[in-house]
Amino acid sequence: MNIHEYQGKSILRKYGVATPAGHVIENLSQAKDIIKKVQSESGSEKVVVKAQIHAGGRGKGGGVKLADNLEQALEYADNILGMQLVTPQTGDEGKKVHKLLVEENVYYPGEEEPKEFYMGILLDRNTSKIVIMASTEGGMDIEEVAEKTPEKIVKEWIDPRVGLQAFQARKVAFALGLKGKSLKEGVKFIYALYKAYTDSDATMVEINPMLKTSDSRILAADCKIDLDDNALYRHADLAEMRDVTEEDPFEVEAKESDLNYVKLDGNVGCMVNGAGLAMATMDIIKLSGGEPANFLDVGGGANPKTVEAGFRIILKDPNVKAILINIFGGIVRCDRVAKGVVEAYKNIGDIPVPIIVRLQGTNAEEGAKIIDESGLKVTSAIVLKDAADKVKEVMA
């Protein structure tokens, strides 16, 4: 689960990760009071107005603005709140801005120039470890740094059973060239960030930029956190941070019906029991000349209710030209699934696209018979190759 920058920073603060002072605006009527509050907390007229959306690159898209005073901050807030923000990560349609974060300006002048670093902690599935990634090339696209100058990214792997060791935090801070006060703060920062990461069951915490201010403080100027969905049950406070307006509406609806659904860009919808079979079915669709419109695992008990919910979600996607249902009857019997399909079909009414149902396993023949005798626009197949050919036929 993704959360907003301001929510991520509220987690970081609990663990002692230094962040700029800031508050959120949800509607324009709050803007004046909040801006004044940030100004008085920071002792500076200058504030930064930041769009809160679940996508990075906001700076490039015009979603992060430095205001010199209250008047200008109000103007930026007025412009950005409600705008359709397009960044390199949102796609052309952009994302609507529902919230703003107003923060103190931490790029104030001083003895040294402020310096931007990159600091990320993530799960490395290949080594089953946690990896800290850091770079002196912060503030910009880390993917680009990784591609063009990979030597500028340092990595430190942490065994989760042992946890982050003092020498490791120091090694990373040294690699960034931190010295004196900023070295001390940097080590503390890395420790606190690691604790925030592990305690909240995050899969990624990314601070870009991690800022060294002109007076050598180390701050999280930006924050992106991904939380492990499977661990949310033990973090009621974090689960509440979910913002469904930022998620794909199809996926939100699917989650409510307990379906594992991921929206894709293709034209053949599919409904399958079991994630592995769903992946194989997507391959079959591709091999038949179609493109999968979704991933959908209805789980073990493909009953009429889940089948109907699956149908409804798939049919909301106007790109869908055909639907392939692929069910292996292991625990669930194929004749039951077939009845479910027919029932769901009748409940929904006229389904405008052809449906191919492939049932294999217990009572497969009976299932196929029920489909064939239903009189509906549904074709049955028992062998997967047969199903693939039928998809090919309707796609032609």
Binding site as annotated, residues for Mg(2+): 208, 222
Which does residue 105 touch among Mn ion, ligand GDP, none (CB within 5 to 8 A, set by kind)?
Answer: ligand GDP
User: Which CB atom, from 203 or from 208, has the smaller least distance to ligand GDP?
Assistant: 208
**Residue 56 near residue 85, CB atoms below 8 Å:** no
Binding mask 215-244 for ligand GDP (x = CB under 6 A): ------xx----------------------
Is residue 66 involved in binding ligand GDP (CB under 6 A)? yes
User: Which CB atom, from 61 or from 304, has the smaller least distance to ligand GDP?
Assistant: 61
Among 9, 22, 52, 56, binds ligand GDP (CB under 6 A): 56
Tell me the residue type at 61: G
Give the catalytic positions in this structure: 118, 206
User: Which CB atom, from 76 or from 250, has the smaller least distance to Mn ion?
Assistant: 76
C-beta of 46: minimal distance to ligand GDP in Å? 7
Is residue 49 involved in binding ligand GDP (CB under 6 A)? no
Using left for φ > 0, alpha for ψ between -120 and 50, and beta otherwise, residue 87 falls in beta
Is residue 62 involved in binding ligand GDP (CB under 6 A)? no
Rounded Cα distance, 266 and 358, in Å? 20
Residues in the chain, how many? 396
User: Which CB atom, from 5 or from 185, has the smaller least distance to Mn ion?
Assistant: 5
Is residue 209 involved in binding ligand GDP (CB under 6 A)? yes
Taking the alpha carbons at both ends of the chain, their separation in whole angstroms is: 39
User: Which CB atom, from 102 or from 334, has the smaller least distance to ligand GDP?
Assistant: 102
Among 24, 54, 70, 107, binds ligand GDP (CB under 6 A): 107
Is residue 9 involved in binding ligand GDP (CB under 6 A)? no
What is the number of the residue whose Cβ is closest to ligand GDP? 59
Is residue 269 involved in binding ligand GDP (CB under 6 A)? no
C-beta of 55: minimal distance to ligand GDP in Å? 7
Site for ligand GDP in 132-151 (CB under 6 A): 139
Which does residue 304 touch among Mn ion, ligand GDP, none (CB within 5 to 8 A, set by kind)?
Answer: none
Residues marked as binding?
A: 50, 57-59, 103, 106, 116, 208, 222, 273, 330-332
Is residue 64 involved in binding ligand GDP (CB under 6 A)? yes
Binding residues for ligand GDP, per CB under 6 A? 48, 50, 56-59, 64, 66, 103, 105-107, 116, 139, 208-209, 221-222
